[in-house]
Amino acid sequence: MKKLPTLVMVAIALALIFAASNPGFAEGIGTINQVGMNNDAYIYQEVLSEVVLLQLGDDNSATIDQVGSEHLAGVAQVGSDNEIEIRQLGQRDLVFSLQLGNWNHATITQTHSITPSSAHRNLADNDTYTYQSGLYNTIDLMQIGDDNTSSVYQIGDNNEAYVIQEQSALAIGGNASFVVQIGLNNWTATQQTGVNQLIRVLQNGDDNSALVNQNSMDTSTLVIQTGNKNSANLNQG
């Protein structure tokens, strides 16, 4: 697993402190702690996977599907009316997510390459870290292939982040995407098809938009938007 970003340590601490009594996850373990009213949780596991879920507040919803083996998902929802859907469909995928506030939504999908083409493929090991603090923030994230890493941090209200990462045919290696949105009504969409690519987007202000597409190998993009109503559209490949 990769080194954990500092902000996500809050989510890990909140979630894992409630799982300290668990001896391990040889058979697959799901630990759910709910404090509040009308919280909803659904977990599906196969083998050698673990889920730790904390819901603190009211009307929160979490759905976690772990298909395959050795997945790990740590989720904390602190507030009300937050929703998260996680699908881990490969093996050894990792998700740590924290929703702090109200009416935040996150959808995270991690899966093997759709068209395996090498003995080195279909290993998975995708890592995702998300943090939402505020109201009505949205994350929609999909990783297809092996060794991809995504981090999305939203601090404020009505921010939207859409991330797609997919390895191209015959490619070996992973892509990385890092999105930080601080403010109101910011929008980011990133898509990478290829191998060993990096996208970094920082939005600090309101009503900013960034669209980044990369379709190649060993490419890197950095977008920094400070202030209000900035727009960026980049295409590489």
pLDDT given at position 115: 59
Residues 193 and 165: their CA atoms lie apart, in Å, by: 6
The structural domains of the chain, with segments of one domain joined by +, span 6-236
SS (H, E, C) the chain: CCCCCHHHHHHHHHHHHHHCCCCCCCCCEEEEEEECCCCEEEEEEEECCEEEEEEEEECCEEEEEEEEECCEEEEEEEEECCEEEEEECCECCEEEEEEEEECCEEEEEEECCCCCCCCCCCCCCCEEEEEEEEECCEEEEEEECCCCEEEEEEEEECCEEEEEEEECCCCCCCCEEEEEEEEECCEEEEEEEEECCEEEEEEEEECCEEEEEECCECCEEEEEEEEECCEEEEEEC
Q: Which pTM value belongs to this model?
A: 0.88
- Give the CA distances from residue 169 to residues 37, 122, 137, 219, in Å, rounded to whole numbers and listed in that order: 47, 12, 33, 17
Between CA 30 and CA 236 the distance in angstroms is: 42
pLDDT at 24: 46
pLDDT tens track, the chain, 237 positions:
444 455 555 555 554 444 444 444 456 789 999 999 999 999 999 889 999 999 999 999 999 999 989 999 999 999 999 999 999 998 899 999 999 999 999 999 998 776 555 555 567 889 999 999 999 999 999 999 888 999 999 999 999 999 999 886 666 668 999 999 999 999 999 999 888 999 999 999 999 999 999 998 889 999 999 999 999 999 987
Q: Cα separation of 144 and 164, whole Å?
A: 8
The per-residue pLDDT for 94 is 96
Alpha carbon 153 to its chain centroid, in Å, reads 9
